[in-house]
Amino acid sequence: MNQLLKEKQIIPIDGKDSCLVERFLGSGGQGEVYRVSIQGKPYALKWYFPKQATSEQKASLEYLIRIGAPNNKFLWPKFLLTNPKNNTFGYIMPLRLPQYKGINDLMRRRVEPTFKALAIAGVHLANSFSKLHANGLCYRDISFGNLFFDPITGDIQICDNDNITTNGDPLVTVLGTPRFTAPEIVRGEAHPSRDTDLFSLAVLLHYMLFVHHPLEGEQEAKIHAFDLPAMTKLYGKNPVYIYDPKNTTNRPVAGIHDNAIAFWKTYPTFIKQLFIRAFTVGLKPNGRIMEIEWRDSMARMYDSLIYCRCGAENFHDATEYETTGKTTVCWSCHKPTILPPRLKIGKNLIMINVDTLIFPFHVDPSISCEFSDPVAKVNQHPQNKSLWGFQNLSKDKWTVISNEGAITEVLPGKNVSLINGIKINFGKTEGVIIV
Amino acid sequence: METKRPGGVLSNRPLHFIWILDVSGSMEGDKIQSLNYAIRNSIPAMKSVADENPNAEVLVRCITFGNEVKWHIRTAVNVADFEWKDIQAGGMTPMGKAMNLLADQLKIPPMTDRALPPVLVLITDGQPTDDFATAYQNLMQESWAKKAVRLGIAMGEDADTAVIEKFIGNKEIKPLVANNSEQLVNFIKWASTAVVQAASSPASQLKDEKVTGNVPIGTMPDVSDLNQDVVW
């Protein structure tokens, strides 16, 4: 094999430590990635091909190393290694952990996450890109290969961060990955920017939720040879969302685009409306959905999860329920689902299932969306098995107002019954139970 | 696996990858063994690239031309199940007949009308001993041949690069002249990975990258840093 680095090769670091090349992991358009060890600890090392080892790339990496990662989801460059003999270089970054699977595995259905895990992954993804963009940076190459997620927990890791630059940096080298690049890049009118990142993020979320590309419908079905001119037309010159309410020329074709059809029936109205916006008005840069809206919608999707009696996860569609009074029909057993009790906090409606957890961000809008340290869990009364409640897992006491107006305190560790109309004051916000 | 969500795998398109290999008498000995080695060597990386592209179902076949012109791998095999059986050399260089055999398989049917551009890789060390020109014209009547990414690798200086250039039919893509076994390994790996990647889902597009034909195949392999010690 013709590789840039050899196994067992030792690369000096600042004359003190050294980096031992353990094995080749993979290659891409710019270089190769190796598993290495430094002081016995495993890391990943990306080494650039001579043509890609430019002074601009090096300066860009030095900048990224200096400013540090936007959050802990990014496998961010830690430090540079150089080979003075041929002026090539690489950088050390954290090694991706084995429980994190590629979006490719999700597309091939080799990993089967729950909707819950996908919603959490969506929240993390939107949140991480929000932080990156808030720092004035631009990712430029969001695609299948750059995101990994834990199908059990929904946690994510974002790789290939070496193409990140300041938004608007004219020294761009990477234009993005076809199918993910924004229409204006496909048409050759623009370079990657924060705005084009937002389009790619929407495509990635669509792939994750629908296992299908948002622009591949009837138009795609009619294409014989799917080559560059065909891709340019489909993704650049005449992009039409498969569920554009005003333009029905590109609907999914049964037998070819079955995933789009199946998942479209599954998601609640607010998610469908968001994707419609993302791929209608959002085809233009100033119409793009911002990360915060994606994040809040993914969190709302998480809160809308219900279980059918058959065990399948479904979503409560509040819009549909308010209009028709009908509950969601289960995608798996095709029977109507039974609506569980709900907790309404401000505008948010949280489904109360047996495994529902209430997190700090649910009860305090100033706290970021993290799915850890729950403040409440659903609990069954130890004697009266038909009685369910919220157990206070927080350090603060809650105040509960009954339907009769009686006020009681719920100390940490204690429970409050899920009775229709009961109000719970969590400190910063007040919620009401709806049964 | 238990299905937790509706639907199935991502819809994909077939990507036909066809080796067209010269097994004439002049390939006998080291050359044919180097070719066998290079193809076998390329398989893991090819599988890995195919696996990373859920938009494509990479299907492999192989034509050989020498004593006879035949399908060495007749039924398109999914790259995940692709194994290489060594080929033997002997006979003339009936490249024209190989083009005819290829043309028959690029018709619709047996080809489907929806696919990714096929990748056709011609590897030869000599000159056609039959009517290549007419057969090539015949091949290029087929729309899938026109849409295909056609690549050519010359094994050694004796190969007729003019014929390979004609097969490629794109001035931006030059025949790859392999003067040693290491170069051959490198070229075959490139054809079976970078080009498969480009045809199924072009990788990150780099600024200033040349667009070659209807599929941007990216930068051709750089051989300048390879050892030149194993000369045929």
Q: Compute the radius of gyration of chain B from its Cα atoms.
A: 17
Nearest 5°: phi and psi at B62?
A: -150, 130
Q: What pLDDT, on a 0 to 100 scale, did the predictor assign at position B225? A: 41
Q: A112 vs B4: CB contact, 8 Å cut-off?
A: yes
Q: Of A143, A227, A313, which is closest to B147 when you measure between CB atoms?
A: A227
Q: Is B212 a domain residue? A: no
Tens of pLDDT along chain A (435 residues) come to 457 899 999 998 877 789 999 999 988 778 899 999 999 999 999 999 998 899 989 999 999 999 999 999 999 999 999 988 888 999 999 999 999 999 999 999 999 999 999 999 999 999 999 999 999 999 988 989 899 999 999 999 999 899 888 887 766 667 888 899 999 999 989 989 999 999 999 999 999 999 999 999 999 999 999 998 899 999 999 999 999 999 999 999 999 999 999 999 999 999 999 999 999 999 999 999 999 999 999 999 999 999 999 999 999 999 999 999 999 999 999 999 999 999 999 999 999 999 999 999 999 999 989 999 999 999 999 999 999 999 999 999 999 999 999 999 999 999 999 999 999 999 999 999 999
Looking at residue A30, what is its pLDDT? Answer: 85
Closest to B106 measured CA to CA, from B95, B97, B117: B117
CB-CB neighbours of A171 under 10 Å: 12
Closest Cα in chain B to A107: B10
pTM of the model: 0.93
Q: Which of A228, A242, A257, A314 to mutate to test the interface with B (most CBs of B within 10 A)?
A: A228
The answer to whether the CB of A20 falls within 8 A of the CB of A5 is no
A143 close contact with B: CB closer than 8 A: yes
pLDDT given for residue B198 in this prediction: 87
Q: What is the largest CA-CA distance in chain A?
A: 82
Structural domain contains residue B88:
yes
Q: Is residue B190 part of a domain?
A: yes
| Per-residue tokens: A239 | 């992009």
The position carrying tokens 């709806």 is: A434
- What type of residue is A92? I
C-alpha Rg value of chain A to the nearest Å: 25
Long-range contacts of A419-426 (CB under 8 A, 24+ apart): A420/A341, A424/A343, A424/A390, A424/A398, A424/A399, A424/A400, A425/A398, A425/A399, A425/A400, A425/A401, A426/A345, A426/A363, A426/A364, A426/A375, A426/A394, A426/A396, A426/A398
Question: Of the candidates A105, A172, A96, which has an alpha carbon nearest to the alpha carbon of residue A141?
Answer: A172
DSSP state of A401: E
Q: Which helix (H) or strand (E) holds A121?
A: helix A115-134
**CA-to-CA distance for A316 and A416, rounded, in angstroms?**
24
CA dist A177 and A141 (Å) reads: 6
What is this model's ipTM?
A: 0.91
Q: How confident is the model at residue B231 (pLDDT cuts 50, 70, 90)?
A: very low
B114 and A107 within 8 Å at the Cβ level: the answer is no
Token pair recorded at residue A148 = 């990994």
Residues A245/A248/A251/A254 CA torsion (nearest 10 deg): 110
DSSP 8-state secondary structure symbol assigned to residue B221: P
Edge-to-edge order in the sheet of strand A10-13:
A10-13, A17-27, A31-38, A41-48, A88-93, A79-83
Task: Look over chain B and give the mean of its residue pLDDT values, rounded to a whole number.
Answer: 89
B15 in any annotated domain: no
DSSP codes joined into one string, A143-190: SGGGEEE-TTT--EEE--GGG-EETT-S---EEE-TTTS-HHHHTTS-
3-state secondary structure of A80: strand
Preceding omega of B109 cis (within 30 degrees of 0): yes
Q: Cβ of B51 and A51 within 8 Å?
A: no
Residues of B in contact with A207 (CB under 8 A): 10
Q: Give the span between the Cα atoms of A200 and A215, in whole angstroms.
A: 12
Beta strand B119-124 with B13-22 is: parallel
Q: Within a domain: residue B107? A: yes
- Whether the CB of B2 is below 8 Å from some CB of chain A: the reply is yes
Structure tokens at B162: 């003019």
Model confidence at B207, in pLDDT bands (50, 70, 90)?
low
**Residues 137-176, chain B, touching A (beta carbon < 8 A):** 143-144, 147
* All residues at 6 or more sequence positions from A280 whose CB lies less than 8 Å from its CB, including other chains: A241, A244, A245, A246, A287
pLDDT number for residue B136:
97
Q: Which of B2, B5, B185 to mutate to test the interface with A (most CBs of A within 10 A)?
A: B5
What is the DSSP code (8-state) at residue A372?
-
Q: Are A136 and A166 in contact (CB under 8 A)?
A: yes
Interchain CB distance below 8 Å, B10 and A51: no
The residue among B202, B228, B199, B205 whose CA lies nearest residue B13 is B199
CA distance B129 to chain A (A): 33
Give the other-Cβ count within 10 Å of B110's Cβ. Answer: 9
Q: How many domains does chain B have?
A: 1
Q: Which domains does chain A have, with CATH numbers?
A: 10-93 (3.30.200.20), 101-296 (1.10.510.10), 340-435 (2.60.200)
3-state secondary structure of B13: strand
What's residue A85's pLDDT? 83
CATH number assigned to the domain comprising residue B74: 3.40.50.410
Residue type (1 letter), B78: N
**What DSSP string describes A42-59?**
EEEEEEE-GGG--HHHHH
Q: How far apart are the CA of B142 and the nearest CA of chain A, in angstroms? A: 12
SS3 letters for B62-91?
EEEECCCEEEEEEEEEEHHHCCCCCCCCCC
Chain A residue numbers touching B42 (CB-CB < 8 A): none
Per DSSP, B139 falls in state: H
| Any domain includes B81 | yes
CB of A402 less than 8 A from some CB of B: no
| Chain A residues inside the 8 Å CB shell of B224 | none
Question: Could you tell me the residue range of the domain that residue B118 belongs to?
Answer: 34-200
Question: What is the pLDDT averaged over residues B120-128?
Answer: 95
Read off the pLDDT of residues B48-69 as tens digits, 9 standing for 90 and up.
999 989 999 999 999 999 999 9
In a domain, B101, yes or no: yes
Cα of A92 to nearest chain B Cα, Å: 21
Q: Does B45 reside within a domain?
A: yes
Predicted confidence (pLDDT) per residue in B84-113, tens digit: 999 999 999 999 999 999 999 999 999 999
Give the integer Cα–Cα distance in Å for A118 and A208: 7
Give residue A370's identity as a one-letter amino acid code: E
Distances (CA, A) of B167 to A79, A354, A410, B152, B183: 47, 66, 80, 7, 21
Pairing of strands B149-155, B119-124: parallel
Residues of A in contact with B198 (CB under 8 A): none
Distances (CA, A) of A33 to A45, A160, B53: 5, 10, 19
